[in-house]
Structure 1
Amino acid sequence: MQVYLRYFTICFLLPPATALENVSCEIFILTAFQEFGNKKDTYFWLSLIGYLLIIFVNVSLIILIYQEKKLHEPMYIFLCNLLFCELTGSTSFYIKFMIDLKINVHVISRTFCFTQIFLIYIYTVTEICILTVMAHDRYIAIHAPLHYITIFSSANIQKLIVASWIYPIVMITIGMYLSIRLPLCGNEIDRVYCNNWEIVKLSCTDTSSNNIYGSVMLCTFSIPFIFIFYSYCKILSVCWNTSRSQKYKAFQTCLPHLITLIFFISSLLFELIESRLNVKRVKNEITAFASIEFLTVPPLLNPLIYGLILPEIRKRVVYLFSRRRKQLM
């Protein structure tokens, strides 16, 4: 198996060249894999199991929502986009990561490196945008239920979904252009995947434009968090003055969104603080995996959280399993 993976890496993930030194500016070395030692096989099988579970639970929930007409509501449509976004992000990371765990040469071509950065960043920003839309959905459903159908009409849902994808694509494309044009004086990335900030630090020239644009992006993406915080504050204020049963119902529908949001933000902040602010790290596999937590854990836990907490999805899952059992009996 290692032979085939090595062949795949040389043929597809590395640029053609007669000698490695002739393309030192065209490849990147992922040095963080050195911290894994002789545990690579263990991490490979854990990653493979995790990735297969991610595919299974996300695709299963998407198919369930697609087939069940009772779930063709704005909240579940947004949820489908969230799950698809997580499939994109986890796939862009896991495949290369598992290949590197089975070979000894942990390199990636410049083209594939920037492709991975683009997909991972699209996943990150789109996830934030979709979570913002979902928070607004819950806010309108609880704060102004009589206007819910009007506000979240089919046309408006399509506009929100398109905006949640197009805006990140445009913003990340501009950032990628600023990074691709940089001449580099090194090719070692202290990560297990390609990271834009690590590449910017390798530049031989002034990177002020990249730093300014990165700061603008961080400030821009703080707006959704403010909006989410405002939405849930209003939701809590409305629920405070309602009956106990209504409070429980609102809490039940909002809880998965809150868990998803808190977990995603906390794991993402760790990566931003560690890489962007140059915090000194303890060199071990624990910090290496902590830096990829936002790529591995949310795509696996989120569909389970929504499936277990949202009553409509839970009912449909129980019904399908019970019907399947009767057919087998």
Structure 2
Amino acid sequence: MENTSYETIFILTPFQDMGNNKDIYFCISLVFYLLIIILNVSLIIFIYLEKNLHEPMYIFLSNLLFSGLTGSTSFYVKFMIDLRASTPVVSRSVCFIQVFLIYTYVFGEITILTVMAYDRYIAINWPLQYTIIISDRKIKKLIFLSWIYPCCMVALGTALTARLSLCGNRINWLYCNNWEIVKLSCLETVINSIYGLVFSFTFFVPFIFIIYSYIKILILCWNNSRTHKHKAFQTCLPHLITLALFLSSITFEATESRVNLKRTMNGVSTVASLECLIIPPILNPLIYGIILPGIRKRIIYM
């Protein structure tokens, strides 16, 4: 296809280098995707059926698990279809839908983790006022904000990219990556770059609040009894592990996308770029299911 100012389809170039390994990748991807569905759906259903788990922390956790399902589905379904296709292509409209869904999942993950940190901060610092502060009305507001905020931010960024006239249609990524599309633009992308900085700032600001929350929790626990320390540690540990995994994976993906590390380490970087779509959705239900005593004990005594 010749370069034009308005491309109707994109070609995902990394698939062309897979050769005869596509069948292997397809089987591995199918196993991962099924595992993600089974683990996340099972834990969501378990929380829904267990009336004793109808608490704010577990309601927020269910939203985190659902976010992982949406992000995984938006990637794996198209990815496996491309593995079975002779020429992996994606239409312009489908490409931008995938951009919106994947970026909303990534941004939504951090907003939900922020809400969960806020919940633990209130629960440990003001246990007697917890049910008053984290009321049913507050829970609904927090869940709504944790979804609508990333949706609006990502929708604006996607719209800014969709308006660009493109001088190419070859995306050097395994899925529709916003920055890879921006690099194909025939026009100046100053607005996109500025919004990218704004987006990055609004994305990483919640990390500051999360860190502040857990520092305050650690300080409080340090001055309390051993029992209180142990209980707080059990409650906060899965949040901290999840946050560390998510932060490391998204930082690598973002850095790789900007500086194009694929030129220097093709195979490793290609796999690592999918870390935020593979690792968190699989490990989140395992981490919370094993470490949180409220879930672990009920699973053991089922």
Do they fold alike, i.e. is TM over 0.5?
yes
- How far apart are 1:163 and its partner, in Å? 0.4
| Contact 1:187–1:202, Cα closer than 8 Å, also in 2 | yes
| Percent of residue pairs bearing the same amino acid type | 63
Other-structure match for 1:154:
136
Structure 1 window deviating more from structure 2 (257-266 vs 138-147): it is 138-147
Of 206, 219, 225 in structure 1, the residue corresponding to residue 188 of structure 2 is 206
Other-structure match for 1:259:
241
TM-score of the superposed pair, with normalisation by structure 1: 0.89
Structure 1 window deviating more from structure 2 (112-121 vs 140-149): it is 140-149
Give the residue type in structure 2 aligned to 1:274: E
- How far apart are 1:286 and its partner, in Å? 2.2
Give the residue type in structure 1 aligned to 2:250: L
Other-structure match for 1:128:
110
d(CA) in 1 for partners of 2:272, 2:219: 35
| Contact 2:3–2:168, Cα closer than 8 Å, also in 1 | no
Other-structure match for 2:95:
113
Other-structure match for 1:183:
165
Give the residue type in structure 1 aligned to 2:166: L
Which digits, 9 at most, give the CA deviation of each residue in 1:24-72, with x for residues without a partner? 8111111112333322111111110110010001000000111111000
Of 285, 294, 305 in structure 1, the residue corresponding to residue 287 of structure 2 is 305
Other-structure match for 1:54:
36
Query: Does 1:77 pair with 2:59?
Result: yes
Other-structure match for 2:124:
142
Give the residue type in structure 2 aligned to 1:152: I
| Contact 1:36–1:285, Cα closer than 8 Å, also in 2 | no
d(CA) in 1 for partners of 2:42, 2:301: 15
Secondary structure of the residue that 1:108 maps to in structure 2? strand
Structure 1 window deviating more from structure 2 (281-290 vs 196-205): it is 281-290
| Contact 1:35–1:283, Cα closer than 8 Å, also in 2 | no
Query: Does 1:235 pair with 2:217?
Result: yes
Other-structure match for 1:95:
77
d(CA) in 1 for partners of 2:85, 2:268: 21
Other-structure match for 2:197:
215
Which digits, 9 at most, give the CA deviation of each residue in 1:80-105, with x for residues without a partner? 00011100000000011111112221
Which digits, 9 at most, give the CA deviation of each residue in 1:163-201, with x for residues without a partner? 000111111111111111100000011101000000000
Other-structure match for 1:34:
16
d(CA) in 1 for partners of 2:286, 2:60: 16
Give the residue type in structure 2 aligned to 1:246: H
| Contact 1:197–1:276, Cα closer than 8 Å, also in 2 | yes
Map 1:240-319 → 2, pairs under 5 A: 240-279=222-261, 281-319=263-301
- How far apart are 1:282 and its partner, in Å? 2.8
| Contact 2:43–2:285, Cα closer than 8 Å, also in 1 | yes
| Contact 1:274–1:281, Cα closer than 8 Å, also in 2 | no
- How far apart are 1:278 and its partner, in Å? 4.0
d(CA) in 2 for partners of 1:183, 1:99: 27
RMSD: 1.5
| Contact 1:178–1:210, Cα closer than 8 Å, also in 2 | yes
Give the residue type in structure 1 aligned to 2:198: V
d(CA) in 2 for partners of 1:125, 1:232: 20
Which digits, 9 at most, give the CA deviation of each residue in 1:76-133, with x for residues without a partner? 0000000111000000000111111122211111011000000001100111000000
| Contact 1:35–1:285, Cα closer than 8 Å, also in 2 | no
Q: Which runs of 4+ in 1 moved over 4 A?
A: 20-24
Secondary structure of the residue that 1:29 maps to in structure 2? strand
| Contact 1:113–1:194, Cα closer than 8 Å, also in 2 | yes
| Contact 1:129–1:224, Cα closer than 8 Å, also in 2 | yes
d(CA) in 2 for partners of 1:253, 1:61: 17
Give the residue type in structure 1 aligned to 2:46: L
- How far apart are 1:280 and its partner, in Å? 5.8
d(CA) in 1 for partners of 2:56, 2:125: 16
Please tell me whether Structure 1 or Structure 2 has the larger radius of gyration of its CA atoms.
1
Other-structure match for 1:171:
153
Give the residue type in structure 1 aligned to 2:226: R
| Contact 1:33–1:192, Cα closer than 8 Å, also in 2 | yes
Give the residue type in structure 1 aligned to 2:145: A
Secondary structure of the residue that 1:182 maps to in structure 2? coil
- How far apart are 1:242 and its partner, in Å? 1.3
TM-score of the superposed pair, with normalisation by structure 2: 0.96
| Contact 1:35–1:284, Cα closer than 8 Å, also in 2 | no
Query: How many residues end up aligned between the 2 structures?
Result: 301
| Contact 2:262–2:269, Cα closer than 8 Å, also in 1 | no
